[in-house]
Structure 1
Amino acid sequence: MGSQEKSGFETEDIGFTVLVVLISLAAAYLLAPYFGPVLWGVVAAIMFQPLTARLATRLDGRKNLAASIVLFGLITLLVVPTILLGISLVNEATMLYEKIASGQIDFGRIFQQVMSALPRRARELLSEYDLTNFETIRREFGSSITSGLQTIAGRVLTVGQGALSFIAALGVMLYLSYFLLRDGDRYGEKFRTCLPLRPATRDALIENFLLVVRATMRGTVVVAVVQGFLGGILFSSLGIEGALIWGVLMGFFSLLPAVGTAIIWGPVAIYLFAAGEPMKAGIVLFCGVFIIGMVDNVLRPILVGRDTRLPDFVVLIATLSGLELFGLNGFIIGPVIAALFIAVWNHHRDSRRAREEVLTGSPVPVQTDAVASRAVEESVAHPS
């Protein structure tokens, strides 16, 4: 009788587990169309919920008012400027595309100027890879540039069609952000207690997740905005066409370690030198190295500190893969997945070491290799 009851309980437990999994998958499928707004709503709450809690304390516990004030600040300082930037970017891409289509911007002439300014040895090296033929370059790169600008410019035609979905997505993000800002602690505790993990493991992984998200936003986004802004101002002051587009691209490429914004200002400096403007080329080179480039070295340690660190090659792969798989959302998702991957395996290593110490009754030797030890110490995610 007892074995039958036990078997029945096990069957019911398995059935309920299957039901939980299926319902969770159905909920994820239901949220898929608004994955981006939900993600950014959660990120906004993670970033600003501590500020909301402090503000609520100063307002005698009025959480509704505190969440409303913080949300209004987000809309004023982040949402509205981003929308205005997007409109300006589309307009500038449209004008730039029209100039390329009409021949006002001649890539063939620019290419010849650059090639003639290169040293003979450099031209010989490029000729080995068939990179001295403009038609080859145009097929490889020119069509991509033109089609990219055409895609951005084409947004003008579809803005009316996509306005409703954009407003709906923005509304979902802000609405979700408000409730998470107001009741984030309560929802977080419910989520924490629902996870089927041991308390120590659960708390360590959640803490790591929060650290990674906050460090990603503080370090990556702020540095990208500052570098893109400085690059746009620099190009605009020098009269370079499409300064806003280049500034946005510099902000985007600042997500990538090692190369970063040099992908944009480096070729521009070469072109200006080839076009007979060495003074402008020198200014771009100097500002790119000592102003735009130093922003990353100065700001990121201040904003991120040692909360999150990943080897640069992990950051590069995680960021590129995230962008490829999830679009713009991937620059958060990629590093977070990489950081949690390392955190999970580090926790597994520590748990296994602790079990071995209990079984043997003596401490298990830790890793002595200096490089590996340093990598372990800095194993929580550095977002670019």
Structure 2
Amino acid sequence: MDGEKAFALALLAVALYASLLVVWPFFTYVALAVFLAYALFPLQRRLAPRIGPRKAAVVLMAGATVLFVLPFVLMAQVVVQQAVEVAERVQSGEIDVGLLEEFLASDLGQDIVSAVQSGAGRVFEQSVGVVGGASTAAVGVTILGFLLYYLLVGGEEVVAWFREVTPLPRDVQETLLADLDRLTYAVLITQGVIALVQAILTGLGLLVLGFSNVLFWTVFAVVLGLLPFVGSMFIWIPAALLLLVTGRPLGGAALLVYGFGVINLTDNYLRPVLGGRSADLNPAILVIGIFGGLVVFGFTGIFVGPIVLGFTKTIVAVVADEYV
């Protein structure tokens, strides 16, 4: 019997390792599917009794796709319009190119350029990690779509299967699942709240200074707010530079001070406070989870990292209470 058990455990270890090798190249897409399924499942539970689970899943996936793609379509339109407008203003002499070159050559200008280049490098690095080429992206999106669909349709069966195959008492299972649910909810909400707060603050600053398309830039700032290190800097730094080169140095300087002193500090303050309290995690552990997860798992690591550390804390507590 001991030999059979040892062989079965060895076979299980080999199977799990092989499965990890198969899934790992598309970990980002798998993680995104799991998080999207978690976020959409309450809506799935409400819609399924009315139109059926499969139709409900298709409707929710279509809605999520529109909400994801629409901001990028609007962004492309606005970028083209703004580029044409800037080119016309340069040709008419309204924008002093020489003044811009002089500012960029200054110490402050060099610091800002370095910060933007560093942020751009990180975004590019993460984009390459997520996309990984057109063919890999196509396969990844396909995996994401199929996995999201079947998690929405059969999510409850997955949880039931976990309960059946886990050789733990029912109360221990309840503790683990409840804490995992709480951690996932807390981390996702924290990231969303921070992105929303940063976007609102950015939009208010642009509105006060008289920029156009404030609503679009506010919506786009929500997307950028999910990116670590960068946030909405890609919006208010170029806006401040535009004010500086168009003869409004006071407004440009004020926006830079407001951005670095208020918007950025909001991220530094809210992330550990909101995430730490709602997830019952020490803020230091939460920050380590975010940055460590980013290094290990890529973009989705900003969600996965804190969940992994928080769930590890739960497992340690359960083992200490039940088995030590």
TM (normalized to structure 1)?
A: 0.60
What are the residue-to-residue correspondences of 1:65-76 with 2, within 5 Å? 65-76=55-66
State the shift of 1:72 in Å. Answer: 1.8
Give CA-to-partner distance per residue, 1:145-174, whole Å, 9 cap, x none. 49839958x98xxx9x93333232112112
1:251 has 2:225 as partner: yes
Equivalent residue number for residue 213 of structure 1: 184
On the 8 A contact 2:221/2:232 being kept in 1, the answer is no
Give CA-to-partner distance per residue, 1:199-218, whole Å, 9 cap, x none. 33333122212222222222
Q: Secondary structure of the equivalent of 2:299?
A: helix
1:112 has 2:83 as partner: no
Cα distance change on mapping 1:267 and 1:176 into 2, 3 Å: closer
Cα distance change on mapping 1:64 and 1:345 into 2, 3 Å: same
Structure 1: how far apart are the matches of 2:241 and 2:79?
27
TM (normalized to structure 2)?
A: 0.70
Q: Secondary structure of the equivalent of 1:328?
A: coil
Equivalent residue number for residue 81 of structure 1: 70
**Please, which of 298, 303, 308 is the counterpart of residue 337 of structure 1?**
308
Structure 2: how far apart are the matches of 1:195 and 1:205?
11
State the shift of 1:198 in Å. Answer: 3.6
**Please, which of 115, 121, 125 is the counterpart of residue 148 of structure 1?**
121
What are the residue-to-residue correspondences of 1:109-188 with 2, within 5 Å? 109-110=103-104, 112=106, 114=108, 141=114, 144-145=117-118, 148=121, 162-188=133-159
State the shift of 1:41 in Å. Answer: 1.0
Equivalent residue number for residue 254 of structure 2: 282
On the 8 A contact 2:244/2:253 being kept in 1, the answer is yes
Cα distance change on mapping 1:39 and 1:88 into 2, 3 Å: farther
Give CA-to-partner distance per residue, 1:10-50, whole Å, 9 cap, x none. 11111011111111111111112221111111111122212
Of all paired residues, the percent bearing the same amino acid is: 22
Equivalent residue number for residue 9 of structure 2: 17
State the shift of 1:110 in Å. Answer: 3.0
Equivalent residue number for residue 283 of structure 2: 312
Cα distance change on mapping 1:91 and 1:344 into 2, 3 Å: farther
State the shift of 1:197 in Å. Answer: 3.4
Amino acid at match of 1:47: A
Amino acid at match of 1:277: P
Cα distance change on mapping 1:57 and 1:11 into 2, 3 Å: same
Cα distance change on mapping 1:87 and 1:45 into 2, 3 Å: same
1:34 has 2:26 as partner: yes
Structure 1: how far apart are the matches of 2:282 and 2:233?
20
Structure 2: how far apart are the matches of 1:306 and 1:147?
31
State the shift of 1:233 in Å. Answer: 7.4
Equivalent residue number for residue 367 of structure 1: none
On the 8 A contact 1:234/1:284 being kept in 2, the answer is no
State the shift of 1:91 in Å. Answer: 8.0
Cα distance change on mapping 1:34 and 1:266 into 2, 3 Å: closer
Stretches of structure 2 lacking an aligned partner (at least 5 in a row): 85-89, 91-96
Amino acid at match of 1:179: Y
Cα distance change on mapping 1:349 and 1:167 into 2, 3 Å: same
On the 8 A contact 2:192/2:226 being kept in 1, the answer is no
Cα distance change on mapping 1:285 and 1:220 into 2, 3 Å: same
Give CA-to-partner distance per residue, 1:301-331, whole Å, 9 cap, x none. 9x97964232222121111111112210110
Structure 1: how far apart are the matches of 2:32 and 2:2?
40
What are the residue-to-residue correspondences of 1:290-329 with 2, within 5 Å? 307-329=278-300
Cα distance change on mapping 1:318 and 1:166 into 2, 3 Å: same
State the shift of 1:142 in Å. Answer: 7.6
The structure number with the bigger radius of gyration is: 1
State the shift of 1:111 in Å. Answer: 5.0
On the 8 A contact 1:37/1:170 being kept in 2, the answer is yes
Q: CA RMSD in A?
A: 5.0
Structure 1: how far apart are the matches of 2:70 and 2:59?
18
Equivalent residue number for residue 87 of structure 2: none
Structure 2: how far apart are the matches of 1:269 and 1:313?
33
Stretches of structure 1 lacking an aligned partner (at least 5 in a row): 1-8, 116-133, 356-384
State the shift of 1:221 in Å. Answer: 3.0
Structure 2: how far apart are the matches of 1:88 and 1:291?
26
What are the residue-to-residue correspondences of 1:224-239 with 2, within 5 Å? 224-225=195-196, 227-228=198-199, 230-231=201-202, 234=205
On the 8 A contact 1:266/1:285 being kept in 2, the answer is no
